[in-house]
A = this chain, B = another copy of it.
Amino acid sequence: MTLVVQKFGGTSVANLDRIRHVAGIVARHVKAGERVCVVVSAMAGHTNQLVEWVTGLDPVHYDRAEYDTVVASGEQVTIGLLAIALQKLGIPARSFLGWQAGIRTDAAHGKAGIVEIDPQPLLSCIEAGVVPVVAGFQGIGPDGRITTLGRGGSDTSAVAVAAALKADRCDIFTDVDGVYTADPRIVPRARKLARITYEEMLELASLGAKVLQTRSVALAMRYGVRLQVLSSFEDVPGTLVVDEDEIMESNVVSGVTFSRDEAKVSVLRVEDRPGVAAAIFGPLAEANINVDMIVQSVSRDGRHANITFTVSRADLPRAVEILERQRERIGFERVDADADVVKVSVVGVGMRSHAGVAHRMFRTLAERGINIQAISTSEIKISVLIAEEYCELAVRALHAAFGLDRTDG
């Protein structure tokens, strides 16, 4: 008998009507003969309310363990309510808090990692013909206190539970009906993908697609959990995230994505001597600022270089300030900052076996007169940094150029 973990996010359980609707979805699967384990988030907005109360008392230095205790109460409400809604439909169900479900985490309150899940409590429940309704986002730390996994942690809970139960599939119900070749709001001809590989999903998630959290995809990949992204509002098939060998025929590129959360920093006329890169990036790393794309160009005199890199927009002012403070030590002429940039990426495991993807990408952009300011690549993606005003144009052009446009009207 198939065992499926079904995860419902905050918008899917935002009020009693939606909770009843979710109970209906679960009931349908149970009546179709599947064994189901449910994982839920807090009601949409509820977690924010709880966080506001905490920061209302202490905006910065609040105790992370107390934060977790307060914030974890949100899922406690929805698991009980959904269990009752299921029982009302004649489906035996019972709620499990993180600690009751044996979800053990490390002690990193507010952003804990799952260490292990004892499958026994949930398996006993399932074997007794009862649907477990598990609180996502939370677990229990080594000191017996409640922990939370950080934002988006419910996806991670669902995947971890699916792995522990050796479930056949983990269905992530959300407010979109699957993974698209591009954001349909930008590219009207975007298509929903029936299947996508973990690697591609991982790249898309880290490149700004908000469908799934990077962390949950990485976990699914590691434990071979078959993920499905689908809508809790429409009863249509979603997108299956699977191993590469489960995808018979794939496009060279599976999707085009973009992120506006980018800012460019250029350090001009740096003295070109050994250790200068360390002098620049060391202080940024210490300040917890992530640096993404890096380009270095040597000046005509051969003794100076320009170093350009990107950071997230929120980090831009701090990054510039840190560099200015180190100007003497590093030795450079000036720092330029530019927040009007966007990173556009094409992603696809097909790239591994197809040459010419980069060439096609650069040519497509050049034909539209779009200047590339930086490039970064991995085995299955190519990202370029361009001026923000060209974002939509670039995404649409690349979507067409890689044959992703829908052709059915």
Measured between beta carbons, the chain B residues less than 8 angstroms from A347 are none
Measured between beta carbons, the chain B residues less than 8 angstroms from A63 are 83-84, 87, 94
Q: With A66-B80, A69-B79, A73-B73 in contact, is A57–B145 under 8 Å at CB? A: no
A84/B57 in contact, CB under 8 A = yes
Which residue of B19, B54, B70 is within 8 Å of A76 (Cβ)?
B70
Tell me, rounded to whole Å, the shortest Cβ–Cβ distance linking A21 to chain B.
12
A73/B62 in contact, CB under 8 A = no
Q: With A66-B83, A73-B77, A76-B76 in contact, is A53–B16 under 8 Å at CB? A: yes
B94/A66 in contact, CB under 8 A = yes
Which residue of B56, B62, B66, B97 is within 8 Å of A95 (Cβ)?
B66
A interface: dominant SS: helix
Bound-complex Cα distance A65 to B54 (A): 28
Measured between beta carbons, the chain B residues less than 8 angstroms from A95 are 66, 69
Q: What residue of chain B has the Cβ atom nearest to residue A53's Cβ?
A: B81
Q: With A65-B94, A76-B73 in contact, is A54–B84 under 8 Å at CB? A: yes
Q: Which of A1-43 contact B (CB under 8 A)?
A: 16, 19-20
Bound-complex Cα distance A77 to B69 (A): 7
Q: How many copies does the complex hold?
A: 2
Which residue of B20, B53, B58, B76 is within 8 Å of A69 (Cβ)?
B76
Measured between beta carbons, the chain B residues less than 8 angstroms from A69 are 76, 79-80, 83, 95, 97
* A72 contacts partner chain B, Cβ-Cβ < 8 Å: yes
Tell me, rounded to whole Å, the shortest Cβ–Cβ distance linking A139 to chain B.
14
Bound-complex Cα distance A81 to B85 (A): 30
* A302 contacts partner chain B, Cβ-Cβ < 8 Å: no
Q: Which of A138-154 contact B (CB under 8 A)?
A: 144-146
Measured between beta carbons, the chain B residues less than 8 angstroms from A76 are 69-70, 72-73, 76
* A374 contacts partner chain B, Cβ-Cβ < 8 Å: no
Measured between beta carbons, the chain B residues less than 8 angstroms from A56 are 16
* A50 contacts partner chain B, Cβ-Cβ < 8 Å: yes
Bound-complex Cα distance A397 to B86 (A): 58
Indicate with 1 or 0, residue by residue over A67-104, a CB within 8 angstroms of chain B CB atoms: 11110111011011101110110000011010010000
Measured between beta carbons, the chain B residues less than 8 angstroms from A19 are 57
B58/A80 in contact, CB under 8 A = no
Measured between beta carbons, the chain B residues less than 8 angstroms from A84 are 54, 57-58, 62-63, 66-67
**Interface residue ranges, A against B (CB under 8 Å):** 16, 19-20, 50, 53-54, 56-58, 62-63, 65-70, 72-74, 76-77, 79-81, 83-85, 87-88, 94-95, 97, 100, 144-146
Given contacts A16-B57, A63-B94, 6 further A-B contacts (CB under 8 A): A16-B53, A63-B83, A67-B84, A70-B80, A73-B77, A100-B145
